[in-house]
Structure 1
């Protein structure tokens, strides 16, 4: 390829002013700039002769998404036209608001080929991880199950959960094999919880994991961010276990652990030195807040159709109303009132904090000029938890006032409860609006938005005569 120096047409000042530019030689300023005292600058253009270069694919939005799941960067995405390449393009096109169907078809074909040919390298696992995020975001549970099942089996066969895995010598990804393992573990937990067990767990809850933090990241700030991320998902898994009636010691211990982890995650979030550290800690904070809401919800409500494990409400309104009226468990304890009040306070605090971070994120994304925030699809799940925090508050408040009666619709609300209910409705409306934005990216957000609408009806039904909105 040859490059031919093009003739200068005008200096930058004259070009911007759209006036004729006259210069006697190439070395001197033009007459106009000399006359009015401007710094005359020229920009040489070039015309390339020969075969045109290939159009560069746009990975910008994938790069933003990858801050939250940092396994590969935009520079190494296109090393091969493989599963990583097509999954990155699919996610990028989706976040840009483009039609990703052609890219997605190529991604799914590449995933099928990887499974059929039994590929066992780390790059294939990375491609599968991003593919599973897209599967879940589209609410394609069947594909998500197939992909997580194969990826998990390969991870165990390679021994990624150990200090001495079977890795390909010379592979640059060997240095982050621990990070790949933990991202698979996180997916395994979240897919199982957010689908009410439809996607089965691939990793035994009691399996031995001995991955050094140095094999997750070499940078200490990234190590701390991943430490919070791993612990957040692990304690979420513990908080969603069914443990029957209220166990004061268990709830108190888990609550203190959650508060400690939240303190660390918040500190790391506010002192983040780059976008990856910030995004990882932002996600961890929301997971921990959601786990704390669920912990206190489960302590007092025995019916597990109303929980974070399903990330959803029961779709039948009558069953939900029966849940609020009849499913309140009153354990035999001398400090019942204090414990109930403590759970109510924790739920209220976590709900307000989740909504605070959601508001901050919405404002930040608007200022950055980003139309569609590039978060992972499980972010929508956390938004749903923020919306049903208020309904838990109302249920517990009424349980305190009504004791074992629990008849919400037959109670007269005092002025304080009226305003608390109005605030609850406003908070639910906020999550409804934000989920509406995410619908254009992740189909699963539409399902959550519909359930948030059900949540509003439940709150509204507590006292329908008081609302003029």
Structure 2
């Protein structure tokens, strides 16, 4: 076979993404691949005579996605044409803007076959974890329930939540069995919370979990990243429990724990030595901020179905003081209005920080030429919580002013409130725009975008005469 070599134009990654490739030699990774952690590969353009070269599948986008759920890399994806293989190709095609229906059908068939044949190995569990991400991203709650139910049962049968699991001797995935366990646990919590309980919890909240951190990762930096990830999801689960929401000592204690965890996660994020550790800490920060917003939200609202024009917080506080059961515990200051003000401050801080990280991420992805940021689908849920923040902030602010000036309906917006509302609308517009981008990848983002639109309408209705943009 004769090959006529021609001058190279770009590495494979930059060529597929249709962006400029900067490198002095094809022996070294280009600047773009180095920055975003891709495996930079060069291929000389050529005219070949004879038998055509076999086309290889592209896992670049899956490799980026796997930074946030690091269970397997692109090099070991294609070892077998199994569930891992097809789930990786489905996610990769989705992120690349290609039609994933053919790959997805193969993935679903492989998942069905694994369940029917009762496969109980770690690689199958990894494939199911990535499949469940796709199920949720497509808002296919029924499939997500079926897949998480089987995967969780296998994990418990293998004893992955213990120090002595039943593993296949010689399987190199044995070294990360703890990581596989925690990713399943995280999925279990998130699916249940994000679907308002439609997907039922598979793991008992009070079950014993004895997994050494060495079985999660051998690298100390990755261990720290997973420590933050695990604690972030665990405390999110605690903060969203309705029972105990009126216990203000509990609220205060959880708030301090969240602040401590956020300090550690931010430090690890800014000192991250690679893309995986950076992405894990980025996700943990958003989860912790969302948990803090939910914590203070539930202290004053049992749900999100409230109306600004009829929020009677003074009456609510009097009702709290009159409760005679164990559900209500006064704040340490014995002053509910001070506690209300503290919740306002916490929600304001968390909202601003979530929006700050969303802006940073959007700017970074644009600079890197990445059309669709390869975050896990639950990132869209965090963006929705960032939109709740401005609503809660305005509602609580009005509650404080109501206590000072009388009935809320008799108040007029002062200049400060007008500008706060303008900023709130701008913040909500930001999350709406970013969710619009994610709709092309994760269908669930469209549902969240519709909820964000409702948030904007609520804020806009606060003062329609003054505020009509």
TM over 0.5: yes
Question: What is the CA distance between 1:34 and its match in structure 2?
Answer: 36
| Cα distance per residue 1:22-65 (max 9 Å; x no partner) | 99999999999999999999999987776433211010000000
Following superposition, the deviation at residue 449 of structure 1 comes to 0.5
Aligned CA distance change for structure 1 residues 385 and 36 (closer, same or farther; 3 Å): closer
Q: What displacement does 1:241 show? A: 0.5
Is the contact made by 2:65 and 2:376 (CA closer than 8 Å) also made in structure 1? yes
Is the CA contact (8 Å cut-off) linking 2:87 and 2:130 kept in structure 1?
Answer: yes
Residue 16 of structure 1: CA displacement?
22
d(CA) in 1 for partners of 2:85, 2:370:
23
Change (3 A) 1:450 1:170: same
Inter-partner Cα distance in structure 2 for 1:402 and 1:382: 30
Unaligned runs of 5+ in 1: none
Helix, strand or coil for the counterpart of 2:3? strand
Cα-to-partner distance string for 1:152-198 (whole Å, 9 max, x where unaligned): 00000000000110000111101100000000000000000000000
Equivalent residues of 1:90, 1:100 under 8 A apart = yes
Task: Report the Cα offset of residue 337 of structure 1.
Answer: 1.9
The 3 A distance-change label for structure 1 pair 81 and 308 is farther
Quote the Cα distance in structure 1 between the aligned partners of 2:160 and 2:176. 10
User: Which piece of structure 1 moves more, 19-28 or 43-52?
Assistant: 19-28
Question: Cα distance, 1:402 vs. partner?
Answer: 1.6
Q: C-alpha distance in 2, partners of 1:95/1:163?
A: 37
Q: 1:163 to 1:14 in 2, by over 3 A?
A: closer
1:156 aligns with 2:153: no
Q: Compare 336-345 and 32-41 and name the one that shifted more.
A: 32-41
Distance 1:34 1:291 in 2: 34
3-state SS in 2 of match to 1:161: coil
Deviation (angstroms), 1:403: 3.5
CA contact (8 A) 2:6 2:44 kept: yes
C-alpha deviation, 1:246, in angstroms = 2.3
Task: For 1:336 and 1:426, locate their aligned partners in 2 and report how far apart those are by CA, in whole Å.
Answer: 31
How far residue 243 of structure 1 moved from its aligned partner, in angstroms, is 2.3
- Taking a change above 3 Å as real, the CA distance of residues 200 and 305 of structure 1, as seen in their structure-2 partners, is farther
Give the Cα separation in 1 of the matches to 2:208 and 2:139.
Answer: 31
After TM superposition, the structure 1 stretch with the greater mean CA deviation from structure 2, 377-386 or 409-418, is: 409-418
Given that 2:460 and 2:468 are in contact with CA atoms closer than 8 Å, whether structure 1 keeps it comes out as no
Q: CA deviation at 1:247?
A: 1.5
Contact residue 436 and residue 445 of structure 1 kept, 8 A: yes
- Mapped partners of 1:174, 1:331: distance in 2: 48
What residue number does 1:445 align with?
445
Residue 353 of structure 1 and its aligned partner are, at CA, apart by 0.1
Contact 2:38 2:60 in 1 (8 A): no
**Contact persistence 1:314–1:320 (CA under 8 A):** no
Distance 2:39 2:275 in 1: 38
Partner of 1:326, secondary structure, is coil
| Distance verdict in 2 for CA 1:55–1:464, change over 3 Å | same
Shift of residue 467, structure 1, vs aligned partner: 1.5
Q: Label 1:392 to 1:50 Cα distance change in 2 as closer, same or farther (>3 A).
A: same
Alignment of 1:202 with 2:199, yes or no, is no
Q: How many residues align?
A: 469
Structure whose CA Rg is larger: 1
Deviations 1:217-245 (A, max 9, x none): 00000000000000000000000111255
Q: Deviations over 1:357-401 (max 9, x none)?
A: 000000000000000000000000000000110000111111112
When residues 218 and 397 of structure 1 are mapped into structure 2, their CA distance, relative to the original with a 3 A threshold, is: same
With over 3 angstroms needed to count, the CA separation of the structure-2 counterparts of 1:263 and 1:43, relative to structure 1, is closer
Residue of structure 1 equivalent to 2:242? 242
The gaps in structure 2 that reach 5 residues or longer are none
For the 8 Å contact 2:13–2:60, the answer to whether it is kept is no
Q: Structure 1 residues 80 and 468 mapped into 2: Cα distance closer, same or farther (>3 Å)?
A: same
Distance, in Å, in 2 between the alignment partners of 1:245 and 1:36 is 42
The Cα offsets for residues 132-161 of structure 1, whole Å up to 9 and x where unpaired, read as 000000000000000000000000000000
Once the two structures are TM-superposed, the CA of residue 20 in structure 1 deviates from its matched residue by 28
Task: For 1:199 and 1:86, locate their aligned partners in 2 and report how far apart those are by CA, in whole Å.
Answer: 24
Conserved in 1, the CA contact under 8 Å of 2:293 and 2:346?
Answer: yes
Change (3 A) 1:135 1:401: same
CA distance in 2, matches of 1:61, 1:428: 29
CA distance in 2, matches of 1:254, 1:137: 30
How far does residue 313 in structure 1 lie from its aligned partner after superposition? Answer: 20
**TM-score normalised by L of structure 1:** 0.85
CA distance in 1 between counterparts of 2:37 and 2:96 reads 45
RMSD: 8.8
